[in-house]
Copies of this chain bind each other. A is one copy, B any other.
Amino acid sequence: MPYVNIKITREGGTTAEQKAELIDGVTTLLARVLNKNPATTVVVIDEVDPDNWGIGGLPVKAFRHRQNSGEK
């Protein structure tokens, strides 16, 4: 009965099919590796606004801009 929480940024919209693929993939992985019962494996996907996600001390869009413009 594992609980898995996947947090990703909300950008252009992850489709229902992709979410279903993540749910299936994680559940299958836990069944294969740890013999966990799919029937009680819970997966929750949180989609986070890019303004609310930071890396490298910057909001993610500013971080990527800096990366693409070759700055440190």
Interface residues of A (CB under 8 A from B): 1-9, 14, 16, 18-30, 33-34, 36, 38-48, 51-60, 62
Q: How far is the CB of A18 from chain B (nearest CB, A)?
A: 5
A56 and B30 alpha carbons, distance in the complex (Å): 11
A44, B33: Cβ atoms under 8 Å? no
Instruction: List, in ascending order, chain B residues with CB within 8 A of A33's CB.
Output: 18, 21-22, 25
Instruction: List, in ascending order, chain B residues with CB within 8 A of A1's CB.
Output: 9, 42, 53, 55, 60
A7 and B26 alpha carbons, distance in the complex (Å): 12
Instruction: List, in ascending order, chain B residues with CB within 8 A of A2's CB.
Output: 6-8
Instruction: List, in ascending order, chain B residues with CB within 8 A of A9's CB.
Output: 1
